[in-house]
Amino acid sequence: MSGISFEELLPTLLTAGGVLLAFWGLYIVLARLIRGLAARSAGDDAASEQDEKAWADQSITYLRRGMEVMGGLAVLVVVLRGLGLGGISKFSWDGLTNWLSTHGFRIALVAGGAYLVTRILHMLISRLPRLLARPTDEANQVQAMEQRQRLETISRLLQSVATALVMGMAALIILRELGLDITPILTGLGIGGLALGFGAQNLVRDFISGFFIIFENQVAVGDVAVINGKGGQVEAIRLRTIQIRGLDGTVHVFPNGAITELSNLTKTFSYYVIDLGVAYKENTDDVVEVVREVAAELRRDPAYSPFILDNLDVLGVDDFADSAVTIKVRIKTAPLKQWFVGRELRRRIKHAFDARGIEIPFPHLSVYVGEATKPFAVQMMEQAGAKANGGPRAAAQKEKV
């Protein structure tokens, strides 16, 4: 340091200060952009606004740490060049002018281009909820709100991914323009990505599967679903897991990547199916007519009519069982209301059958005994009669006579 004058060190200090100001300015612009996006994405309620603010604060924290690391590396490179250490040439006024007109201009161009590309991508992604939202009527406001929230969640996720990719590429280009060899960085990222791919492949699979579950709206919070043979109401959907609660209160948690079978019982509408067994002696046409009357009466009931979407659908005689003729019927209801409507329909059908004398048989079995093997009671009666007539020999002599 004793051989370097202040005039020789001044270009280095100015360059380092300029690099710090550039990174600080880029951080300010991106932070304002994130806060603006969060403010536009927030809903009218306080909870949505608070969630958006928390997301913005977390994103800005990550951005600040990244800028600090990249800015520190850039200043280190500038200082090393200014001091001429490690074979790196020193800065001079002519060298500074030349550097600003070449590398400096490229750095400013890359930073500005990254900011512009990020803004364009954010604008395009923010329009996805409006482009992908399906039109819904006023009666399905809850469904429309859930759809909008789901699309906004996906939009924010895509915006974060786009920002990370664009800014990561821009940072690597800037570090190369500053004279830093980025080959070890790329090598380290490649090795780290490979290790992450081998060590956390299940985690990555869970995240990818969770993204498509949310994007395709396969299931939503509040739906009743059967996942891998376990049924219950969906309580939470995350990028990594789905949580459902069974009828007995048991909570089942499934990693999204491990879901092999998902059945949604309450998507858009539901059916309640009844396998109705009646005695063989009953006229099935009369039975169907009674069931239709009961269903029509139920649909006129104001306590149930809002949840019944269509008339009773009679599928016909479905089976000849051991002790009954099975008639299959179903009724279309609003989601989550099929059990509420179906249980009341069963109750009214039972009352209607009792009032009209239609038999719902219990399982029974008719036994026919052939002549080769007489029932025990018949055998005993024959033996008693033979004894009263003088025994078996007397009975046999009478038969001969």
- Separation between Cα atoms, residue 273 and residue 329, nearest integer Å: 6
Q: Within a domain: residue 246?
A: yes
Q: In this structure, what are the phi and psi dihedrals at residue 57, rounded to the nearest 5 degrees?
A: -65, -40
* Beta strands 262-264; 325-333: pairing state: unpaired
Provide the β-strand partners of residue 223: none
Is there a single domain that holds both residue 275 and residue 250? no
Q: Are residues 171 and 28 in the same domain?
A: yes
Which amino acid type is present at position 336?
A: L
166 and 231 share a domain? Answer: no
- Alpha helix stretches (DSSP H) within 178-200: 183-199
Start-to-end CA distance of the chain, whole Å, equals 149
User: What separation in angstroms does the CA of 248 have from each of 243, 254, 272?
Assistant: 15, 18, 21
Same domain, yes or no, for 241 and 284?
Answer: no
pLDDT of residue 345: 94
The CATH number of whichever domain residue 233 belongs to comes to: 2.30.30.60
pLDDT of 300: 92
Does residue 364 lie in a domain region? no
* 189 and 40, same domain (yes or no): yes
What are the backbone angles phi and psi of residue 45, rounded to the nearest 5°?
-85, 160
Q: How many CB atoms lie within 10 A of CB 354?
A: 11
Question: How many residues are present in the chain?
Answer: 401
Residue 117 near residue 33, CB atoms below 8 Å: no
In this structure, which amino acid lies at residue 204? V
Domain assignment present for 67: yes
Residue 114 lies in a domain: yes
Q: What is the CATH number of the domain that holds 303?
A: 3.30.70.100
Per the structure, the complete domain to which residue 245 belongs is given by 218-264
**389 within domain boundaries:** yes
In this prediction, residue 303 carries a pLDDT of 92
87 with 228, same domain: the answer is no
Q: What does the pLDDT read at residue 285?
A: 92
Give a yes or no: residue 211 inside a domain: no
CA distances from 197 to 188, 192, 202, 206 (A): 14, 8, 9, 13
By three-state DSSP, how is residue 354 classified? helix
Shared domain for 167 and 145, answered yes or no, is: yes
Residue 30 lies in a domain: yes
- The residue written with tokens 């009674």 in the block is 290
Residues 395 and 296 in one domain: no
Residue 229 CB partners (closer than 8 Å, separation 6+):
261
> DSSP label at 104?
I
Q: pTM for this structure? A: 0.51
36 and 138 within one domain: yes
The pLDDT, as a whole number, for residue 136 is 54
pLDDT at 288: 92
* 3-state SS class at 359: coil
Q: Is residue 169 domain-shared with residue 235, that is, in the same domain? A: no
Where the chain has pLDDT below 50, the residues are 1, 86-88, 138-139, 395, 400-401
Rounded to the nearest 5 degrees, what angle is found at the Cα of 115, between the Cα atoms of 176 and 38?
A: 135
Same domain membership, residue 393 and residue 338: no
Whole-angstrom CA distances from 222 to 228, 242, 273, 332, 393 are 18, 12, 21, 19, 84
Instruction: Count the domains in the chain.
Output: 4
Other Cβ atoms closer than 10 A to 122: 20
312 Cβ partners below 8 Å, 6+ apart?
291, 292, 295, 296, 329, 330, 331
In the structure encoding, which two tokens stand for residue 266, read together? 């309450």
Q: What pLDDT score does 197 carry?
A: 65
Instruction: Note whether residue 124 is domain-resident.
Output: yes
Q: Are residues 306 and 388 in the same domain?
A: no
